[in-house]
Amino acid sequence: MIQRIQTVYLLLVGILSAGVMAILPYGTDKNGEALLAQDNFLVLGLYVGSAILALITIFLFKNRQLQFVLGRINILLNFILLGVFVYWSLTLSGETVVSEKGIGMMIPVISIVLLVVANKAIKKDENLVKSVDRLR
């Protein structure tokens, strides 16, 4: 059952986390150069971890409970990444590292929304299977 709607949502999270993070900068430094995720190992690790976790979750369609738990862990991972971005943008004063915020800081927010919708679809499937089992 890989053709379910949550697969599309999880695939979008994987594409956002793995592909778009390499293109969109999360900020610019004081010299006007774009800061990409490849420049910072923490950000790169969190993005790649989120992408791998989303792709692993897609192929666990037979175990919906584990799929739901991995979706929640991925949401937590994206909240940590969002927290890192917010921390950097609020605590760094002046022109130290991040001078201007980039559109790449919105990737965790979009990923969180897609993961929540995917978890709702997984829960809906689980409830449907439970209701069919009660009829037997």
Tens of pLDDT, residues 22-69: 788 877 777 777 778 887 888 889 999 999 999 999 998 889 899 999
In a domain, 136, yes or no: no
In the chain, the number of structural domains is 1
> Are 21 and 47 spatial neighbours (Cβ–Cβ below 8 Å)?
yes
In a domain, 134, yes or no: no
In a domain, 27, yes or no: yes
> Distance between CA atoms of 56 and 86, rounded to whole angstroms?
28
Computed over its alpha carbons, how large is the radius of gyration of the chain? 17
Average model confidence (pLDDT) for the chain? Answer: 85
Percent of the chain residues past pLDDT 90, beyond the cut:
43
> Distance between CA atoms of 92 and 61, rounded to whole angstroms?
43
In a domain, 106, yes or no: yes
In a domain, 95, yes or no: yes
In a domain, 51, yes or no: yes
Q: Which domain holds residue 115?
A: 5-129
In a domain, 79, yes or no: yes
In a domain, 13, yes or no: yes
Categorize the per-residue pLDDT at 130 as very low, low, confident or very high, splitting at 50, 70 and 90: confident
The label of the residue with tokens 């919708």 reads 117
Which one has a higher pLDDT value, 106 or 92?
Answer: 106
Instruction: State the pTM of this model.
Output: 0.86
